[in-house]
Structure 1
Amino acid sequence: MRNNLYAIPLLAAVTSAPAQAELPEPVKAMIDAAIESGDPATVQAVISVARQTNPDDAEEIDALLASFNQEQAQLAAAQAAKKEEAIRTASLLENWSGKGEFGAFRATGNSSNTGVTAGLSLKRQGIDWTHKLRGRADYQRNNGVTSREQYFFAYEPNLKVSERMFVYGLAQYERDRFQGFSARYAISGGVGYKFIDELDIQLSAKVGPAYRVTDFVNGDSESRIAGLLGVDFDWSITDRLKLTHETNAVAETGGSATIIVDSNNTSLNFVTGLNAKVSDKLTTRFSYTIEYDSNPPMGSENTDTLSRVTLIYDF
Structure 2
Amino acid sequence: MRALLISALLAATPCLAVAAPLPAEVARMIEAAAETPGALGTVAEVARRTHPESLAEIDAQVDALTSRAEEERIARITSLRFRDGWKGEGQAGGFISTGNSDDVGGSASLTFAKETLRWRHEIRMAGDYQRSNGAVSKERYFAGYAGQWKLSARTYVATSLTGERDRFAGFRSRFTESVGVGYRLIDRPDLRFDVQAGPALRQTNYYDLDDEIAFSARLGGDLSWTIRPDLVFTQNTTLFLDSVSSSLTSSTALTTKLRGDLSARASFDIRVEAEPPVDREHTDTTTRATLVYSF
**TM-score by structure 1 length?**
0.68
* Aligned partners of 1:100 and 1:121 also within 8 Å: yes
Amino acid at match of 1:120: L
Task: Answer yes or no: is the 8 Å Cα contact 1:105–1:309 preserved in 2.
Answer: no
Q: Give the superposition deviation at 1:121.
A: 0.7
1:292 aligns with 2:272: yes
Correspondence for 1:103? 93
Listed as ranges, the matches of 1:260-299 within 5 Å are 264-299=244-279
Please give the secondary structure, in 2, of the residue aligned with 1:237: strand
Deviation per residue, 1:166-218 (Å, 9 max, x gap): 11100011101111000000000000111111111111110100000000013
Instruction: Note closer, same or farther for the CA distance 1:105–1:153 as it changes in structure 2 (3 Å cut).
Output: farther
* Cα displacement string for residues 271-297 of structure 1 (whole angstroms, at most 9, x for unaligned residues): 111111112311111011110001011
Aligned to 1:200: 190
CA contact (8 A) 1:188 1:211 kept: yes
1:5 aligned partner:
none
- SS of residue in 1 equivalent to 2:168: helix
Identity %: 35
Partner of 1:173: 163
Distance 1:294 1:269 in 2: 12
**Residue type of the partner of 2:183?**
Y
C-alpha spacing 1:272/1:82, structure 2 compared with 1 (3 Å): closer
Distance 1:211 1:193 in 2: 21
SS of aligned partner of 2:228: coil
1:211, 1:226 within 8 Å by CA — same for their partners in 2? Answer: yes
Q: 2: distance between equivalents of 1:184 and 1:41?
A: 49
Matches within 5 A, 1:134-283: 134-142=124-132, 145-218=135-208, 220-253=210-243, 264-283=244-263
Measured at CA, do residues 294 and 209 of structure 1 come closer, stay the same or move farther in structure 2, by a change above 3 Å?
same
* CA pair 221-118 structure 1, distance change in 2 beyond 3 A: same
Q: Across the two proteins, how many residue pairs are aligned to each other?
A: 246
Contact 2:140 2:164 in 1 (8 A): yes
Shift of 1:79: 8.2
In structure 1, what is the Cα distance between the partners aligned to 2:223 and 2:241? 21
Q: Structure 1 pair 248/39, CA: closer, same or farther in 2 (3 Å)?
A: same
Kindly report the root-mean-square deviation, in angstroms, between the aligned alpha carbons of the 2 structures. 3.5
In 2 relative to 1, CA 80–227 (structure 1 residues): closer, same or farther, beyond 3 Å?
Answer: closer
Q: CA distance change for structure 1 residues 196 and 181 in 2, over 3 Å: closer, same or farther?
A: same
The worse-fitting range, judged by mean Cα deviation, of 212-221 and 91-100 is: 212-221
Deviation at 1:144, TM superposition (A): 5.3
Unaligned 5+ residue runs, structure 2? Answer: 1-23, 32-46, 48-56, 97-101
* Structure 1 unaligned residues grouped into runs of 5+: 1-33, 46-64, 107-111, 254-263
Structure showing greater Rg:
1
Distance 2:78 2:190 in 1: 28
Tell me what 1:18 maps to: none
